[in-house]
Structure 1
Amino acid sequence: MTPVFRRVLGDTFDTLAPQVRALHDVDRTMVWKGEATITRGTHWLVPFFALTTQLPPSASNVATQVTLAPDGDGETWRRDFGGARMASRYRAWNDRLIEKLGLVEFYFSLGEHDGELLWATSGVRLLGLIPLPPTWFARVRCRERQTGDRFEFLVEAALPWVGRIIRYEGWLERT
């Protein structure tokens, strides 16, 4: 079975930085460990969004573990940010990546620039059924890159009328 990110990216997968490729070349269960800093927004709706998508609380330099496992036609990622757990499932659909995170499904277009993997939101569905306006989610994105021998990530989510929902960034190394 071809890993999900390789299916979505095609030949572009091979142009990613080595550590970015290694994290996404999921052909068996893998564990990556590192550190992250998490900043949640302050709008009164942020706790509701965090609950429905299992977002971790704000924390600085917290021990982080990500377990990636292939399952059927996709992958399950289990993240642990210092005891705060967040799980999501990924699958390929045409040339897009779908992430099911709590009650929400995000559709991402993936791209590469100078070895970095860039995620841009192209659609969102609540409960897998109800489409939400994509313009609301234009500021939900991710950047993954390699610095030295480390995989680095930056995830940001903001909504027009709420501002920042969450931002988390850090690094991981394969164990």
Structure 2
Amino acid sequence: MPSALRQLHNFPGRYVGRCSVEGGRGWLKKLALRLGRFPPNADDIPVKVKIDRAGQAWVWERDFGGHTTRSLLAFDHGSGCVREQMGQLTLWLKPEVSDGRLSIHIRRLSVLGLRCPAFLLPRSSTVEWQDENGRFRFDVSAEMPLFGPLIRYRGWLAPVHAGSRTG
């Protein structure tokens, strides 16, 4: 796995970068995004990410131009997936590394503690990679079966070094 991905996913840290967010249209999609505390639509905004350990879990705090989305990630030994709690949503994610890229697939979802039926499970096209400048790049997206695109946010992050005033 490239060093930018390894660093971000294995160690606490602070990152800054730029990001664009496209949320799906329609009341059902807007409700789903609100339950997950996802950011509103925005084009080329500053993004800050703070990653810390909390026992066996990781706390990710993302600041999308002033909108904070916080999640708690932990390995779920029973499913073999990473479990991510975001607001009222819990996702079970399966990472897959291939050709220097990390793809993340949604394997399960619960909303307000209720398991989503498989036929409504969002499909993810999430990919992370290291660009030619050594930056962490991300393209996170999810689509709802029968309803279409739910959210897509994409951009880049670079680590904030000790003594830096950007984080």
TM-score normalised by length of structure 1: 0.85
| Distance across 1 between alignment mates of 2:122 and 2:72 | 21
Aligned residue number for residue 114 of structure 1: 99
> Counterparts in 2 of 1:40-119, with a 5 A limit?
40-94=23-77, 95-119=80-104
1:52 Cα deviation from its structure 2 partner: 0.6
Write out the 4+ residue segments of structure 1 that deviate beyond 4 Å after TM superposition. Answer: none
1:157 Cα deviation from its structure 2 partner: 1.4
Structure 1 residues 33-64: Cα deviation after superposition (integer angstroms, max 9, x where no partner)? 00001011112222211211101011111000
List alignment gaps of at least 5 residues for structure 1: 1-15
The answer on whether the counterparts of 1:121 and 1:141 sit within 8 Å (CA) in structure 2 is no
Letter in structure 2 aligned against 1:146: Q
Aligned residue number for residue 140 of structure 1: 124
1:165 Cα deviation from its structure 2 partner: 1.4
| Distance across 1 between alignment mates of 2:37 and 2:122 | 20
Structure 1 residues 134-163: Cα deviation after superposition (integer angstroms, max 9, x where no partner)? 332241342110012110001111111321
SS in 2 for 1:50: helix
1:125 aligns with 2:104: no
Taking a change above 3 Å as real, the CA distance of residues 18 and 135 of structure 1, as seen in their structure-2 partners, is: farther
SS in 2 for 1:45: helix
Picking from 156, 160, 164, the partner of 2:141 is: 156
| Distance across 1 between alignment mates of 2:155 and 2:40 | 15
Q: Percent identity?
A: 27
Aligned residue number for residue 19 of structure 1: 4
| Distance across 2 between alignment mates of 1:134 and 1:171 | 32
Aligned residue number for residue 6 of structure 1: none
Picking from 4, 15, 19, the partner of 1:36 is: 19
The answer on whether the counterparts of 1:62 and 1:82 sit within 8 Å (CA) in structure 2 is yes
| Distance across 1 between alignment mates of 2:30 and 2:76 | 30
* Residues matched between the structures, number: 157
| Distance across 2 between alignment mates of 1:172 and 1:68 | 13
